[in-house]
Structure formats: structure tokens, C-alpha cells
Structure 1
Amino acid sequence: MHIHILGICGTFMGGVAALAREAGHKVTGCDAGVYPPMSDQLRELGIELIEGFGGDQLALKPDAWVIGNVVSRARQADGSPRYPLMEAILDSGQPYISGPQWLAENVLQGRHVLAVAGTHGKTTTTSMLAWVLEHAGLQPGFLVGGVPSNFGISARLGAPTLPASRGPAAGRPGLFVIEADEYDTAFFDKRSKFVHYRPRTAVLNNLEFDHADIFDDLAAIERQFHHLVRTVPPSGRIVSNGLEESLARVLHMGCWSEVRSFGAANSDFTAQGEPGRFDVLERGEKVGRVEWALGGVHNQLNALAAIAAAQHAGVAPAAAARALCEFLNVKRRMEVRGVVDGVTVYDDFAHHPTAIRTTVDGLRRQVGAARILAVFEPRSNTMKLGSMSAQLPWSLEQADVSFCHAANLGWDAAQVLAPMGGKARVASSIDDLVREVVREARPGDHVLCMSNGGFGGFHAKLLSALAARGR
């Protein structure tokens, strides 16, 4: 089969492309400003990439057009279509399908799917779960919205059936771990992506208001999460964060599967100890211990979720805990980008206020009294709209000084951050932001950069500027 993917350089669609190529399909694709790292990964796989969404690509005549949710029926200022290829596909009557639906029909069908949903921690928890299953010899497939360092790739098919080493379970459907996003599927399918995946094991990691561009309120997202719950079979398992009232409301709407909870004092799975070293308890009994380099209570909770989900796939909690001791964090999750002139620069994907707060808290636990300079870019659609901007002073409380890249926002960053006084700075350009941080940074500081995009190359520019200052 030949598929042509529109919006192929997005993390999810790039993963779909890699899986399709591994499965033996011919894969081509297009995107605007074809960009790395996904463009480099795809070219290494032999996938032809085309710049832009020109209607002339209709001549490729693939068996199916796979449409990413970046594509819309939007028009340019002059009235011309922003995605002329999509208009041509519609006019021609050729078959098209969304990425999640193609994945469900061509990869996930017949597998034991383990789906990880939640406002925060999806990528990390998905990576943890995939690694636990790999460590147990189960050869899972996976699709992650990042690059798990234990694997070095974001997607793979894995074994279609359980290996012979699993004894009586050998030959049963193979495992596939997927990051289950609540964002909508495509311009023609406004359901959340995760309703396509039909998981046997579903992790509900947490749930807050997000994606203000497509959801009116938290209740609307809770309804989508319940749509996911409805797809889990009676023999399936739902792993739910016991600390989240929103998830309790979701399950109260109706649940037809086994539920195992984690996190709260009365949950099935709890942790005892600090985030870097803790015992895993199942119903109060110690069943394993995790000692690793990760910090933050959020990662401790992610670990409990992964352990509870892996148990449903046949991995004992003790074995899962041992595997997590060897877990390497996902790229762009508290990733050290360099140390220059005594200043350590980190890269992190945090962009929602709660994620920013937990990330800063995790670093604070690691560095103690050392200064933290938090640098963030409100880049997501939700943050650009400003619906959560009032929470930013709260999210940055544990940073010593915070810097905001305030370009292209629909709200006044200086006004929002005014309650922080001299602990907050605002810059309208990347170059100005670099100068502000360099002026403030001193040996022993930790600069935590947070964005869900490329941040305009800020990290490299900052490291260069710090090096130049030291000469």
C-alpha cells in the first residue's frame, strides 16, 4: 500500500509514518517548513518528504491519503485555501483517513493495546511502560510523542504475538503501548484521538482543563475521557490517579472494567519515600523499590501508573520496579543541554501551568538551595489564548527569577506577572531573552527552559552567549 501523509513532521504523524514504513508500506508525506528532528528521522527511513501542501501532489495517486490534524479548510487572507492539496483530494473523491484511524485499522487491530491518557506525563509514562515491558522480554510495539532514551526511536511495531519465553501466554496478541491524546483527530473527525485506539489497558494519569482552542471547559474534556472508558472491555483494566477528582467524576459516569488506582493514601498502588528512592506498595504491602535519577513527585506517580498497567500485561510489580531503576528519561524532559561558566542549562517540554510548577518543583528537590532561573514560552494554543495565564505566578513560585518570551500573545505578560515583582522579566524577542538571562545568570545557577516547541533555538544561543561571556 502507498500512503501519503499530510502533516508528516508532527510527532504523532511522524510516528505513524515510521510504523507504516516498518510494516512494508510505501510512505511519502508533506508538511509546511519540513523540519527536524522528525524530517531527519523520516529521510533516514527512506521516506520522501515534500515541502508544502500543493495540489500538484494529487498526481502521486496513493492508495490512501492520511490526514494530520494540522490540516484544515482554512483560507488565506486573499481567499485562497491554506491547504490546496486537501481541497484537491476532496474534489477528486479519492479516499482519505485520519492518522489515528489508519493506525487503529492497520497496526493496533488484534493487539493488546495499553493506552496512556492524561493532561500531563503522557510521554514519560508511555515511555516507562514500554521500557518495563521491554525489560520483561515482551517486545512491545509503541508510539510515543517524544524519543524515549532507552530506545532512541519514537515508534516501532514490536512483536505481533507474545514471544515463546512467555510460556502458556506465548502466541497471544502482542502488546502495543501508545500515548493517548485527548486532542481532536482531524478537521473531519472532532472526537479525541484516543477513542480510536480501543485499549485493553487504559491509564488515566490526571485530568485538568487544557486545549482551550477546542474545549469549552473541563466538563467537555471529562466527557471525552469517558468516551475512552467506554471502549475498555470487561476483561480490561483502567489505571486511574486516585488524587484526581476530575477522574473520579469520569468513572462515576459509568465504568465496566476493573479499576486499579494509584497515588492517594487509600489507592491500590502507593509510594513510600522520596521521588528518587521509594518503595512501591500494593495495598499496603511492599512489592518493589525504585531508585533512579529522576526527580519530582509527578515522576513518582508516573512510575506507579506504569507499574499498575504493566501488571495487567503480566509483569509483576517487583520486576517492573527493577526495570524502572534502569529507565532513562525522555529527551526534552529535564534534559541537560550543557554546562557553561558554571551555569547548567536544561530543556523541558512543560507548557501548562501545572506542568511548569511540577517541573520547577522537581528541579528544586534536586538542586536544593541553588538558584533556579525559569525561562518559559507560552506557545500552546491554550497559553496563547491566555485562559490560564493567571496561574503563571503560582506555577513559578519556586523559581528564583522567571523570564517569559512574550511574543505573539493575546494577553499582557508583564501585567500577568506583575505580582511577582522583580522575580519576573518579560522579553519580546529571543535575542532579548538571551541577553536578560545572561545578565542575570551566575556560576552555580540552573536555567530551566520550558517550551513545547523549538523555542527559536534559545538553548544553543544561551549556551553560546554564556561561553562568550566567560572568555
Structure 2
Amino acid sequence: MHIHILGICGTFMGGVAALAREAGHRVTGCDAGVYPPMSDQLRALGIELIEGFGAEQMALQPDVWVIGNVVSRARLADGSPKFPLMEAILDAGAPYTSGPQWLAENVLQGRHVLAVAGTHGKTTTTSMLAWVLDACGQQPGFLVGGVPMNFGVSARLGEGKAFVIEADEYDTAFFDKRSKFVHYRPRTAVLNNLEFDHADIFDDLKAIERQFHHLVRTVPASGRVVVNGLEESLTRVLHQGCWSEVCSFGSAVSDFTAEGEPHDFAVQRNGRPVGRVQWALSGVHNQLNALAAIAAAEHLGVPPAEAAAALGRFQNVRRRMELRGSVARAGGDITVYDDFAHHPTAIRTTLDGLARRLGTPRGRILAVFEPRSNTMKLGTMKSQLPWSLENADLAFCHSGGLDWDAAEALAPMGARAAVAANIDTLVQQVVQAARGGDHIVCMSNGGFGGIHERLLKALKT
């Protein structure tokens, strides 16, 4: 089969492309601004990439067109279609489907699907779960919205019955406004946490809770719903109806709990010690992610002690507090990290985890971030930014492209916050403020203009 993927360079659609290629299909694709690292990974797999969404691609005549949710029926100012290829596909009556639907029909059918959903931690927890199953001999397939360092790839078919997938609540495609995860029909569903997000497509938290309940409805009676016992929103989801075994984690009365610091803790099952996790990760959020992965792996027969031991060898995911480099200075090295945090809660948990790991006394934490997600661009959560940055000694915000006043939003932080409309000015601000022993955390769900390397270069001069 020949499939042509529109929007192939996104992490999810790129993963679909890699799985299709591994399954023996001919895969081609297109995107606007075909960009690395996904473009490099796809070309290494022998996948032809085309720049743009021109209608001339109809000449490829694939068996099916797979449509990413970057594609819409939008029109440009002159009235012409923004995605002429999509218009040509519709005019021709050619066969098309969404990425999640293609995945469900061609990869997930007949597998034990373990789907990891939640506002935060999906990528990390999916990676943890895939690693635990792999380390315990189950050879799972997986599709992750990032690159787990234990595997070096974001997706593989796997030889075992298990398939672990990051289950996103964002909509499927312009013609299918359901959340992606309703297509996956998991036997094991992880509900990691749930907050308001994606303000561009959801009106309120209740609307997202409804989508999460749609996921719960698809889990069979013999399945398991692994749920964060600390989240009132998830309690409301389950109160709408649940027909499967529920296994909770995190709260004092949950099935799985942790005793100890996030980097070294005992895992307890119904109050009884069943394993210990000792690793390089930090933050209570990662401790909770670990409990979720252990509870999900147990559903496939992995003893918690073995799962905990495997997590001791977990190497995290690229762009999750990834060390990008350090520069020697009097008073200690200045260290630069890259993190994907793009929501106020994610920013706060990232900085809290670093502060806990460093202990006291410690060097300063400098938070450098850009509000780049659709929700943050809309300004829906701007009032939460000072709260999210409480653990930062200094904060630097890239305000370029925002329709709201970042300086006003950060005013409660006083002199601890600075704003810059372009990356060059932002780099100058950070370099002028930095001193020996500082920890600089760059947070964005995009490339952030290569700020990590630019900071390291500027700090060396």
C-alpha cells in the first residue's frame, strides 16, 4: 500500500509514518517548512518528503491520503485555499482518513493497547511504560510524542502483543472533531491528570472531561483504568460511569503509593512495600508518572518490583530537563537545560523538581520561556504565570507573536521578570544576568529559535 501523509513532520504523524514504513508500506508525505529532527528521521527511513501542500501532489495517486490535524479548509486573504491539496482530494473523491483512524485499523487491531492520557506527563509516562515492558521481555510496540532515550526512536511496531501509545485529547482532524484517543480502544487506559488546556478547541474543563469519559467508555470490562487519585477532575470523569477495573495511584488511599523522595522512593501496593525506584529523575510529577507506569504494567503481568527496578534504568525523554551543556565560571558552572513545559502547571512542576533536586544551598534557577502553545498564545492562562514561576529566581519571557501584554502579566514578579520581543534580546538579557552556579531552564514546545546553543555560545564569549 502507498500512503501519503499530509502534515508528516509533526511528532504524531511522523510516528505513524515510521510505523507504516516498518510495516512494509510505501510512505510519502508533505508539510509546510519540512524541518528537522523529524525530517531527518523520516528521510533516513527512505520516506520521500515534499515541501508544501500543492495540488500537484495528486499525481502521486496513493492508495490512501492520511490527513494530519494541521490541515483545514481555511482560506487565505485572497480567497484561495490554504491547503489546495486537500481541496483537490475532496474534489476527486479520493480515499482519505485521519492518522488515528489509520493507526487503529492497520496497527492497533488485535493488540493489547495501553493508552496514556493526561494534560501533563503523557510523553514521559508512555516512555516509562514502554521501557518497563521492554525491559521485562514483552517487546512492545509504541508511539510516543517524543524520543525516549532508551530507544532512540519515537515509534516501532514491536513483536509482542502490547502496544503503548501516547493518547492525546486534541482533536483528530478537520473532519473528525473527536479526541484522537477515542480511536485507540485500549485495554489499559492511564488517566494521568486533567486540567483545562487547548483553549482553541475546548470551551472549558467540563468539555475535556466529557472527552476523557468517551475514552473510559471504550475500555472493556476485562480492562483496567489507571487513575490519578489526587485529581478531582478525574473523579468526576469516573462518576459519569466506569465498566472496568479501576486501579488508583498517588493519594494516601490509592492502590499504588510512594514513600520517599522523588529520586529514591519505595513503591507500595495497598500499603505494602513492593519495590523501590532509584533514578536520576526529579520532581513529584515524575514520581506519580512512575506509579502510573507500574500500575499499568502490572495489568500485563509485570510484578511491581520488576517494573520499579526497570525504571532505575530509565533514561528519560529528549527535551524533558535535557542537559544541553555547561559553561565554566567562577563560582561554579552555568548549566543550560531544555524542557518541553508549555502549560503553567508543567512550568511549575519542572522548576519545583529542579529546586528539590538541587536542595539547599543551591545556585539560582533562571527560567527562560515562550508562551507558544495555542492555549498560551490566547492568553487564557497568563494570570497563572507568576504562580508557575515561583521557584525561579529570575524569569525571562519571549513575547514575540503574543496578542497580550506579557510584561503586565508578569508584573507581580517585579524585578525578577524580564520580557523581550525577539530571541537576540532575550539571549542578551539572560547572559547579562547569569553568574557562576546558575541553572538556566529553557521551556517551550517548539524550537525556541535554537536558544540553547545561542546561550551556550554567548556565555562562552
Choose from 342, 353, 357 the match for 2:344. Answer: 353
User: Which residue is equivalent to 1:116?
Assistant: 116
2:301, 2:102 → 1: CA distance? 28
User: Which residue is equivalent to 2:406?
Assistant: 413
2:326, 2:77 → 1: CA distance? 45
2:85, 2:457 → 1: CA distance? 41
Give CA-to-partner distance per residue, 1:40-64, whole Å, 9 cap, x none: 0000000000000000000100000
User: Which residue is equivalent to 1:393?
Assistant: 386
2:239, 2:318 → 1: CA distance? 36
Choose from 400, 404, 424 the match for 2:417. Answer: 424
2:72, 2:327 → 1: CA distance? 44
Choose from 327, 330, 336 the match for 2:317. Answer: 330
The 5 A counterparts of 1:194-213 are: 194-213=181-200
Give CA-to-partner distance per residue, 1:21-58, whole Å, 9 cap, x none: 00000000000000000000000000000000000000
Identity fraction in percent: 79
User: Which residue is equivalent to 2:30?
Assistant: 30
User: Which residue is equivalent to 1:166?
Assistant: none
Q: 2:434 matched to 1:441?
A: yes
Which amino acid is the alignment partner of residue 349 of structure 1? Answer: F
User: Which residue is equivalent to 1:134?
Assistant: 134
Q: 2:272 matched to 1:303?
A: no
Which amino acid is the alignment partner of residue 67 of structure 2? Answer: I
Give CA-to-partner distance per residue, 1:310-336, whole Å, 9 cap, x none: 000110000000000000010000000
2:196, 2:6 → 1: CA distance? 29
1:404, 1:134 → 2: CA distance? 40
Specify the SS of the correspondent of 1:465: helix
1:27, 1:243 → 2: CA distance? 43
Q: 2:371 matched to 1:371?
A: no
Q: 2:353 matched to 1:362?
A: yes
2:19, 2:189 → 1: CA distance? 21
The 5 A counterparts of 1:51-450 are: 51-159=51-159, 162=160, 174-341=161-328, 342-368=333-359, 369-450=362-443
Which amino acid is the alignment partner of residue 356 of structure 1? Answer: I
CA positional deviation for 1:78: 1.1
CA positional deviation for 1:370: 1.5
Unaligned runs of 5+ in 2: none
Comparing 339-348 with 444-453, greater Cα deviation is found at 339-348
2:334, 2:429 → 1: CA distance? 14
RMSD: 0.5
Comparing 250-259 with 72-81, greater Cα deviation is found at 72-81
| Count, aligned residues | 455
Which amino acid is the alignment partner of residue 358 of structure 1? Answer: T
1:91, 1:329 → 2: CA distance? 45
2:243, 2:225 → 1: CA distance? 10
Specify the SS of the correspondent of 1:426: strand
Specify the SS of the correspondent of 1:318: helix
1:60, 1:340 → 2: CA distance? 50
2:420, 2:357 → 1: CA distance? 28
Which amino acid is the alignment partner of residue 353 of structure 1? Answer: P
Which amino acid is the alignment partner of residue 113 of structure 1? Answer: V
CA positional deviation for 1:366: 1.6
2:243, 2:395 → 1: CA distance? 46
User: Which residue is equivalent to 1:169?
Assistant: none
1:422, 1:442 → 2: CA distance? 17
User: Which residue is equivalent to 1:165?
Assistant: none
Which amino acid is the alignment partner of residue 27 of structure 2? Answer: V
CA positional deviation for 1:340: 1.1
Which amino acid is the alignment partner of residue 302 of structure 1? Answer: N
1:144, 1:156 → 2: CA distance? 9
2:421, 2:457 → 1: CA distance? 20
Give CA-to-partner distance per residue, 1:269-328, whole Å, 9 cap, x none: 000000000000000000000000000000000000000000001100000000000000
CA positional deviation for 1:398: 0.7
Which amino acid is the alignment partner of residue 438 of structure 1? Answer: V
CA positional deviation for 1:204: 0.1
1:84, 1:460 → 2: CA distance? 37
Which amino acid is the alignment partner of residue 347 of structure 2? Answer: I
2:453, 2:378 → 1: CA distance? 28
Specify the SS of the correspondent of 2:410: helix
Which amino acid is the alignment partner of residue 424 of structure 1? Answer: A
User: Which residue is equivalent to 1:42?
Assistant: 42
Which amino acid is the alignment partner of residue 355 of structure 2? Answer: R
1:208, 1:262 → 2: CA distance? 17
TM-score, normalized by length of structure 2? 0.98
TM-score, normalized by length of structure 1? 0.96
Give structure 1 regions of 4+ aligned residues with deviation exceeding 2 angstroms: none
Which amino acid is the alignment partner of residue 357 of structure 1? Answer: R
1:11, 1:217 → 2: CA distance? 26
Specify the SS of the correspondent of 2:181: helix
User: Which residue is equivalent to 1:13?
Assistant: 13
Specify the SS of the correspondent of 1:384: helix
CA positional deviation for 1:367: 1.8
CA positional deviation for 1:154: 0.2
User: Which residue is equivalent to 1:459?
Assistant: 452
1:352, 1:221 → 2: CA distance? 16
1:463, 1:367 → 2: CA distance? 21
